[in-house]
Structure 1
Amino acid sequence: MKVECLDLRSYRCPMALLLAKRRGAELLNHQSLTILSNDHASINDMIRYFNQNPYSIKVQYHDDECTLLVTKKE
């Protein structure tokens, strides 16, 4: 299955979180989404949100940017 990418590096909270929630809600079971962000508040909010819902999340930090790999569980 193809992994989609959502580039939120030009967005800040709350818009970044809103866009991530919307795209996450569109995921099918076992489908993944890569989210790119460089806003620390947005990153923390997205991690908190996806950890509370039917998703698994992997986080990688590179310099000032962060990549979140979000996968919808069954």
Structure 2
Amino acid sequence: MTKVQIKVNDNGSYRITGDVELIDGEGNVYPAKAAFSLCRCGKSANMPYCDGTHKGTFESVVRVPKTEEDK
């Protein structure tokens, strides 16, 4: 089984890779893909997937907080 990875892209989507099943709120399963990007801005015409509509209008940079050991 492939390890699932979710990357929070700066000013953009969540990039999902690995063996994962995407399910909507009613339990319907989307067609399987080896990798895909999920929209974070809510502007995509291809929800829940990112279509790049956010470019230049969406700002979000998320980082893992530093621990005392990292300082």
TM-score of Structure 1 vs Structure 2, range by shorter chain:
under 0.3
Please report the TM-score for the alignment, with normalisation by the length of structure 1. 0.27
TM-score when scaled to structure 2? 0.27
Q: Where is the helix percentage greater, Structure 1 or Structure 2?
A: 1
